[in-house]
Chain A
């Protein structure tokens, strides 16, 4: 084997090590028996994994993040599905403007969205922390919802709706009877993508979080600034396996990557 033919695979090996390695180290560190975060881990124990479940603030912020990811994504889909339908099936006046407006939050850095929302919506209108986070996460997920649902609508022939109408269905009935069942995979994929995006999101929530009301990633950052024990590593591993599991299942059963 020549030097060149070795060079390329070797680079791939190193790159993959660089990309995956840190994750493996985190996983290993979460099973450490020691008091501080270190690698190689000192001994083996499940104490840090178990401790994650007992930290009160983690439980609260996990609940908050779940609520935002599920509720915000559901709200984004409720706004996004009709909009995608209008964009894909109707001759909509100003369609390009609508498309740009609903997908704009993806382009603007999250920290700016959060700050703008705080200063010009939350403070002047006295919006509570939870509703404010909810609004922000919904706006953040909306572009993904519209993009993924639009893609699956565009893959579906539009004459089946006309066929349903000619067989006696109303327009709305046709949507629920023949469109929805056929874009279910796309909607579920949009939900998963939105969920993961929202759950992992930090900058948007940065300014909007308040005393006692935090999302989980922000809580993790706050925790590791104070305590240098492996519990954040343990929590990170758990979350990573959770999201890999979800995405893997989605790919297996839905062909997730077709839509994203």
Chain B
């Protein structure tokens, strides 16, 4: 794995008509990386993916792949594969013919073609389904056919649109393992688009969080999960208590409040519910809501800062609705945010 980017988006601007969907995006991706484009709907992640595939013309900027500028290269000559969210299998063709489709267009025939299709189907565990029609397969099987159909083309980059979102919990785990295996075995560069942070955290080497057509943060799953740099990312990955910082104090609806410890220099601070200390500390709040979640218990507190969400181990004694509690938002545990939107 070298450090020079294999696929790079440079000052990429994409638009539908006059509506700009992605503005001035820079994103270098190394060979063999598994990158997630993460963000809510409308953030531009799917638009970016379609531009990499060549399905959407680039307004300005460049797409470079393996040393060549492919900005104007048509989609059918890019060597970029895409597994659609709906799988987009050809309904009139058998599983075998679906996988053979692209190879035949490459001019492959006879035993070479057959061997390649068979090995593609075997690698996704569907060799016995070769003669079925897509409609006769389950969603998970259809997705594996779509994966095989793209992979037999030996693409330089494989794009996946919401690869786990249509699957049930058990199949998700199976597919996640499958994708990681394919990636390790073939070393293909993979980029997938998702709105589900858990999916991105579980699967990706690197996560690109997007918002309103711009990159909000790039980092490893650990970075994104533990060290969000903006309130948007913090909120997206489950920090539910987020406050701006002004003059070293926490800015709340009831004015500036001193923290219990020295405040780091940051635009804001964010705490996960688990980071809130309950039962001791300088602040007081009233229990407004409580819910039991198996090994933990969640509380919603009414406090001078507004509502605070806290989570403690279920083994600790429960607090009744309406009870008055002391709590703390320990500054040393908080994620410091450099941007507060």
Contact = CB atoms under 8 A, between A and B. Distances in A.
A/B contact in complex, CB under 8 angstroms: yes
Contact of A164 (B80, B101, B106): B101
Contact of B88 (A91, A160, A173, A177): A160
B88 A162 contact: yes
Nearest to B82: A166
Interface of B: 17, 53-55, 75-78, 80-82, 84, 86, 88-92, 101-102, 105-106, 146, 149-150, 153
Contacts, number: 63
A159 B88 contact: yes
Contacts of A160: 88-91
Interface of A: 91, 157, 159-160, 162-170, 173, 177-178, 181-182
A160 B82 CA distance: 11
A162 B91 CA distance: 14
B90 A159 contact: no
Given A166-B53, A167-B101, A159 B153 contact: no
Majority-rule SS of A interface residues: helix
Q: Which 9 A-B pairs have the closest CB atoms?
A: A167-B102, A163-B88, A168-B105, A159-B88, A181-B92, A160-B88, A165-B75, A165-B76, A159-B84
Contacts of A159: 84, 86, 88
Contact of A163 (B54, B77, B82): B82
Contact of A166 (B81, B86, B92, B106): B81
A157 B146 CA distance: 15
Given A168-B102, A169-B76, 19 more contacts: A157-B86, A159-B88, A160-B91, A162-B55, A162-B75, A163-B90, A164-B90, A165-B75, A166-B54, A166-B55, A166-B82, A167-B149, A167-B150, A167-B153, A168-B77, A168-B153, A178-B92, A182-B90, A182-B92
14 contacts: A159-B84, A159-B86, A160-B88, A162-B84, A165-B75, A166-B54, A166-B78, A166-B81, A168-B106, A169-B101, A178-B90, A182-B90, A182-B91, A182-B92
